[in-house]
Structure 1
């Protein structure tokens, strides 16, 4: 049974396993203190979901905000990378303690997991994360996950917990992802503008839907925005997961959204196999290939990517690295794992099979990106 309405999120038959993402602005007030009464109401909901037979994984922001208050750092701990890392180091302790305390009131054990981008981009580490989540859930614990901002840098980080939540959903084999936010869904215009309408349901994140995104985080406390949420929805929809954006400022936000049907639900579009879903959800390509129209058409028909259709190579990368592929107009075609390093690929780009061996000095591989290592956009 598929998830086709917000009310289905509280039905174990349709949503056996759900990811709940909590934004910083919901968990921490502007003075840097936890919003305990609100958080207690959410933990009550988590306990009710578990009692109904649903598995719950929490992706929680808030470490930097909590740590910045305790260290007395200006700008919410985000003025410099060093400030953010220091604030996260202190805040992660406070955040884990807070969740553990409140969940224990319902006899639920909290388990902390701090992840980096590489933990989910690298296949072996991704499988380790998946196995750990499975065992924790089997044991009855509620994993509480955050990005490990104490060691993450601008180059190797998610930068928002929306996409992290979707990737964790893939690793956990979840049915749905709930993004609790300081906005109550996707609007057809700026939410503050007169006449803007909430979009109740999205059947596929198209370029037109992406164009509606507001890149700002209205609280100034978090690092995400509507763009990150839509990117998370794209990751979720290809893995067979529904994703909901609902307003989190009210108490018991999940129950309120489900009962009042208020929020935006993004429907699952397809369920790729586990490896393809992981590959399609990766967000840090090492380089980019521009291809011609004929090559794009061949890829859409299930072919592998071959050198003659390549027009341009961007970036420096090694064999096995992730590459994004775009067409002549700059539109995304897909992404996959390269069979060549960037130097060799530049040498044979646009060349026929007969020319490639002389240019490479060895027998060319069957494809630049094999269809088994490829996912379309």
Structure 2
């Protein structure tokens, strides 16, 4: 495993030509609803320095709702109402954009805004379009500033936090690393506010149940917290992208981290294809196929999912839809593209290959999910 110093070097310009930096709401917007311009100017100075060193930076930044609420005179309690929050986001986003344009411009950099919804990255065609736009902006030397389009996103069809959005943008932008600047300095074995014996975790090689249990607590202004950061780390590392959680409560947080400052690094080893990364990082699936222990083991060995190993299904899906594959313990172990729609799949689960043609009335496809269209989780 990397030492903490070596792990932080993974995000340096020489090792990481493209970097996503996510900025939490509580860092960007003060409690009174104003932009923390002095802090932001310091961060942009760091970004400019990295840009000169050859590193392309993508910014994922929230705070529009908090800023817009002040501009429109909303009470804090109004933010819990979806229509008020959307109105606040519409007003706040313009103000935030002005700050980015002005402060980046002073450093000779061009800001380019991208507002995305969950569907833009879950739908394969729209994902590829967003990816192409992001790639071209970076090639042109612009600094993309990305946020969820809170003014139109609704509950149930939104990211809900910018941690996971940052990780998905990392996939779409083919970046070498993701840094989450937060109001916490990393992962602890327990909540340090509640447990004085909680130990800091500087490097995570594998995100297992033990790591997941360590997560807890939420930011005072954002909608994330450590749970969403762990989920973001899963998305990033599944695509071979290391992710770091770093405190933003200092004037030059990127430099502080690079020079040995505190931060938790989730290490990613190996590589996957762009299509596999997109599948693994999805936050939604049309349905679920349940499998027995034998099928689960076969999948881990690189085999396709055959009907004989399936024990049940949930949801409604068509052929080509993304579905999850769940083992006997209720864990999602793989994700892929279904070879059948719900009705046909329901008729053949648990059946042997030789029985399928008689059941369906036509020459069947051999698998429910083919290994070439599947990724293990």
Same-fold status (TM-score > 0.5)? yes
Distance 1:339 1:107, change over 3 A: same
Indicate whether 1:364 and 2:364 are aligned: yes
Partner residue in 2 for 1:171: 172
Partner residue in 1 for 2:84: 83
How far apart are 1:260 and its partner, in Å? 3.1
In structure 1, C-alpha distance between the alignment counterparts of 2:76 and 2:291, rounded to whole Å = 44
Partner residue in 1 for 2:148: 147
TM alignment of 1:66-215, pairs within 5 A:
66-75=67-76, 78-192=79-193, 193-214=195-216
How far apart are 1:359 and its partner, in Å? 3.1
Distance 1:372 1:10, change over 3 A: closer
Indicate if the aligned counterparts of 1:77 and 1:87 stay in contact, CA closer than 8 A. no
Deviations 1:277-335 (A, max 9, x none): 11111111111111001111111111111111111101112221111111111122111
In structure 2, C-alpha distance between the alignment counterparts of 1:179 and 1:12, rounded to whole Å = 17
Distance 1:184 1:46, change over 3 A: same
Indicate if the aligned counterparts of 1:309 and 1:350 stay in contact, CA closer than 8 A. yes
In structure 2, C-alpha distance between the alignment counterparts of 1:286 and 1:242, rounded to whole Å = 28
Structure 1 residue ranges without an equivalent (≥5)? none
Indicate if the aligned counterparts of 1:6 and 1:244 stay in contact, CA closer than 8 A. no
Secondary structure of the 1:34 match is coil
Partner residue in 2 for 1:45: 46
TM alignment of 1:1-377, pairs within 5 A:
5-9=6-10, 11-75=12-76, 78-192=79-193, 193-214=195-216, 216-219=217-220, 221-377=221-377
Secondary structure of the 2:256 match is helix
In structure 2, C-alpha distance between the alignment counterparts of 1:71 and 1:6, rounded to whole Å = 43
Secondary structure of the 1:335 match is strand
Two-structure CA RMSD over aligned residues (Å): 1.6
How far apart are 1:364 and its partner, in Å? 1.9
Deviates more, 1:67-76 or 1:268-277: 67-76
In structure 2, C-alpha distance between the alignment counterparts of 1:319 and 1:81, rounded to whole Å = 34
Deviates more, 1:5-14 or 1:233-242: 5-14
In structure 2, C-alpha distance between the alignment counterparts of 1:76 and 1:42, rounded to whole Å = 31
In structure 2, C-alpha distance between the alignment counterparts of 1:304 and 1:78, rounded to whole Å = 47
Indicate if the aligned counterparts of 2:203 and 2:264 stay in contact, CA closer than 8 A. yes
Indicate if the aligned counterparts of 2:240 and 2:272 stay in contact, CA closer than 8 A. yes
How far apart are 1:6 and its partner, in Å? 4.7
Deviates more, 1:122-131 or 1:352-361: 352-361
Deviations 1:186-245 (A, max 9, x none): 00111212021110101121121111111x3231x1111111111111111121211000
In structure 2, C-alpha distance between the alignment counterparts of 1:361 and 1:68, rounded to whole Å = 60
Report runs of 4+ in structure 1 exceeding 4 Å deviation.
Answer: none
How far apart are 1:11 and its partner, in Å? 2.7
* TM-score (norm: length of structure 2): 0.95
Deviates more, 1:151-160 or 1:176-185: 151-160
Structure 2 residue ranges without an equivalent (≥5)? none
Q: How many residue pairs are counted as aligned between the two chains?
A: 374
In structure 1, C-alpha distance between the alignment counterparts of 2:84 and 2:355, rounded to whole Å = 54
In structure 2, C-alpha distance between the alignment counterparts of 1:194 and 1:141, rounded to whole Å = 44
